[in-house]
Amino acid sequence: MKKRVLILCTGNSARSQMAEGLLRHDAGEKFAVESAGTKPGVVNPKAIAVMAELGIDISGHRSKSVVEFDGQHFDTVITVCDSAKETCPVFFGTAERLHHSFDDPTDLDVFRRVRDEIRVYLADFAARN
């Protein structure tokens, strides 16, 4: 049975969306992955573009509110920005909580750097789980 992972950020528009796509692509055989935001917006087109460069299509993703997952069980909740860590809901019960703050990307070069940093972080996470 796959471990359930929820990746949280503020807007669920860039970092958490890229993380969801990366973990699903790179270790989807081990994990059922979702992402959400504490103040969801829309998926950033630059996030879609830099993921497409890796052959990972997140164009069908939508920004989701963390409240959509209220009452659901997750094995691990990963926050990828400090704001989400501070406001992370307490309703995830016994889930392991991990945090790593990645820069909020602005231009394409920063999106690429952050995407690559997230990939390294998640590869280490997957190897340990």
Q: Express each pLDDT in 93-124 by its tens digit.
A: 788 999 999 999 999 999 999 999 999 999 99
Q: Tell me which of 6, 7, 8, 9 is the catalytic residue.
A: 9
> Is residue 22 flagged as an active site residue?
no
Please provide the average confidence, as pLDDT, over all residues in the chain.
93
Q: Tell me which of 22, 33, 78, 81 is the catalytic residue.
A: 81
Q: How confident is the model at residue 25 (pLDDT cuts 50, 70, 90)?
A: very high
Question: What's the domain count of the chain?
Answer: 1
Q: Tell me which of 88, 95, 98, 110 is the catalytic residue.
A: 88
> Is residue 2 flagged as an active site residue?
no
> How far is C-alpha 98 from the geometric centre of its chain's CA atoms?
12
Paired with 35 in beta bridges are 7
CATH number at residue 87: 3.40.50.2300
Paired with 6 in beta bridges are 34, 77
Structural domain harbouring 12: 3-128
> Is residue 47 flagged as an active site residue?
no
